[in-house]
């Protein structure tokens, strides 16, 4: 009876973790559609502003009902990590949207897993964290998968510019993940609000400076997508961690790129090539190794 009650109690946080993964997964194929009307820089800006404004409204609502904040605002000691987080979150979505405008949504969804490699390598070289043998194997397999997706022509090793942009975005997010980890003791809802508002405004400034500022009737829908795929997804991810722990949530969230691939193939009608199928198989193996390593470390 005790085990049954525990399993029943875990259903909601598991559902939240999977929903968080699914909400983020829809951002790639849906953003691909909006790029027909908005420039990549504007799309990145509006997505993050949607996350920031939406989370700001939720913070205000929480205060209205008297719900206490969790550990409050960042202080001056957190400032270097906050600045780095915002700067990286300006660059990363712009690079991602530029890459998405140049290649297929299915490839971009799959290549998002390179963020695992980037985060791990940044943790090793910048923050001196240890990496297990299994994780090194996963890094090599995921990198091989991304290389397959990046090469347009094997005979002369010509690379797809869009794929290289996505890899650049993942590198930025890899370092950003390590900066955000240093802010984990602060209120996650407030951190997400800061990230969304200031990174979104930063990308908007870049759009003005580069002459890519544009306006479209689709902006309200992009704002909503930003709130759902970035703001709400992060909130559900963090909330599920309270009951399941970081490792188990990471295991469930690992399905996100593959959901994105499925949605891209179904709704955008993208036809996978043989190289994509090979890359997908390698990515599944690499992701499984990462998940297993994370769970064993938590145990």
Q: Residues 130, 201: one domain?
A: no
Cβ partners under 8 Å of residue 5, min gap 6: none
Spacing of C-alpha 252 from chain mean position: 14
Structure tokens that stand for 240 in this block: 């599920």
Q: Residues 115, 152: one domain?
A: yes
Decide if 92 is inside a domain.
yes
* Average pLDDT score over residue span 4-22: 74
* Average pLDDT score over residue span 104-126: 87
Average pLDDT, the chain: 86
Q: Residues 257, 109: one domain?
A: yes
Higher pLDDT, residue 86 or 238? 86
What Å distances lie between residue 274 and 76, 157, 278, 279, 280, CA to CA? Answer: 52, 17, 6, 9, 10
Decide if 262 is inside a domain.
yes
Q: Would you state the pLDDT for residue 4?
A: 47
Decide if 215 is inside a domain.
yes
Cβ proximity of 106 and 272 under 8 Å: yes
Q: Would you state the pLDDT for residue 264?
A: 93
Alpha carbons 13 and 243: distance in angstroms, whole number: 6
**Full domain range(s) for residue 47:** 37-69+187-238
Q: Would you state the pLDDT for residue 46?
A: 97
Decide if 7 is inside a domain.
no
Q: Pick from 216, 238, 260: which residue ends a domain?
A: 238
Cβ proximity of 98 and 161 under 8 Å: no
Q: Would you state the pLDDT for residue 299?
A: 58
Residue written as token pair 């709130």: 227
Work out how many domains the chain is built from and give that number.
2
Using the predicted structure, report yes or no on whether residue 224 has a pLDDT greater than 90.
Answer: yes
Q: Residues 176, 192: one domain?
A: no
Q: Where is mean pLDDT largest: 11-20, 197-206, 254-263? A: 197-206
Using the predicted structure, report yes or no on whether residue 2 has a pLDDT greater than 50.
Answer: no
Candidate from 148-157, 166-175, 207-216, 255-264 with smallest mean pLDDT:
148-157
Task: State the chain's maximal CA–CA distance in angstroms.
Answer: 64
Q: Pick from 238, 260, 279: which residue ends a domain?
A: 238
Q: Residues 60, 170: one domain?
A: no
* Average pLDDT score over residue span 271-288: 91
* Average pLDDT score over residue span 49-77: 84
Structure tokens that stand for 228 in this block: 């759902």
Cβ proximity of 198 and 82 under 8 Å: no
Using the predicted structure, report yes or no on whether residue 21 has a pLDDT greater than 60.
Answer: yes
Q: Residues 222, 167: one domain?
A: no
Q: Would you state the pLDDT for residue 298?
A: 61
- 71-96 pLDDT, tens digit each: 677 888 889 999 999 999 999 999 99
Candidate from 60-69, 105-114, 129-138, 170-179 with smallest mean pLDDT:
60-69
Q: Where are the alpha helices (DSSP H) in 126-187?
A: 133-150, 161-181
Q: Residues 80, 139: one domain?
A: yes
Q: Residues 146, 286: one domain?
A: yes
Banded pLDDT at 16 (limits 50, 70, 90): confident
Q: Would you state the pLDDT for residue 100?
A: 95
Residue 250: half-sphere exposure toward Cβ, Cα within 13 Å: 18
Q: Residues 275, 285: one domain?
A: yes
Higher pLDDT, residue 251 or 41? 41
* Average pLDDT score over residue span 248-264: 85
* Strand, helix or coil for residue 66: coil
Residue written as token pair 């990230």: 195
Candidate from 94-98, 111-115, 213-217, 241-245 with smallest mean pLDDT:
241-245
Q: Residues 181, 275: one domain?
A: yes
Higher pLDDT, residue 87 or 274? 87
Q: Residues 102, 206: one domain?
A: no
Higher pLDDT, residue 123 or 202? 202
Decide if 32 is inside a domain.
no
Structure tokens that stand for 37 in this block: 């009307």
Q: Residues 142, 52: one domain?
A: no
Decide if 9 is inside a domain.
no
Q: Pick from 221, 238, 255: which residue ends a domain?
A: 238
Decide if 156 is inside a domain.
yes
Decide if 21 is inside a domain.
no
User: Facing residues of 271 across strands?
Assistant: none
């Amino acid at each position: 009876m005790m085990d049954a009650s525990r399993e029943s109690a875990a259903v909601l946080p598991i559902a939240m973790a999977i929903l968080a993964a699914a909400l983020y997964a829809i951002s790639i194929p849906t953003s691909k559609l909006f790029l027909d009307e908005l420039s990549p820089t504007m799309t990145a800006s509006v997505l993050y502003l949607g996350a920031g404004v939406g989370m700001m409204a939720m913070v205000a609502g929480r205060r209205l009902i008297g719900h206490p904040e969790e550990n409050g605002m960042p202080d001056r000691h957190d400032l270097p990590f906050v600045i780095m987080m915002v700067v990286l979150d300006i660059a990363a979505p712009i690079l991602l949207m530029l890459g998405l405008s140049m290649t297929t949504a299915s490839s971009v969804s799959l290549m998002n897993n390179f963020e695992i490699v980037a985060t791990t390598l940044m943790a090793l070289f910048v923050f001196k964290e240890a990496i297990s043998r299994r994780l090194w194997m996963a890094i090599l397999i995921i990198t091989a998968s991304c290389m397959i997706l990046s090469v347009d022509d094997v005979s002369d090793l010509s690379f797809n510019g869009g794929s290289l942009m996505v890899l650049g975005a993942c590198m930025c997010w890899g370092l950003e993940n390590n900066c955000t980890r240093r802010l984990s003791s602060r209120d996650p809802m407030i951190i997400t609000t800061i990230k969304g508002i200031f990174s979104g405004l930063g990308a908007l400034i870049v759009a003005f400076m580069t002459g890519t500022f544009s306006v479209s009737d689709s902006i309200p829908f992009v704002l909503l997508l930003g709130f759902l795929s970035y703001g709400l997804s992060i909130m559900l991810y963090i909330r599920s961690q309270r009951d399941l722990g970081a490792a188990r949530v990471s295991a469930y969230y690992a399905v996100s790129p593959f959901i994105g691939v499925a949605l891209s193939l179904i709704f955008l009608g993208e036809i996978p090539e043989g190289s994509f199928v090979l890359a997908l198989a390698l990515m599944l193996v690499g992701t499984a190794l990462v998940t297993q390593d994370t769970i064993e470390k938590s145990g």
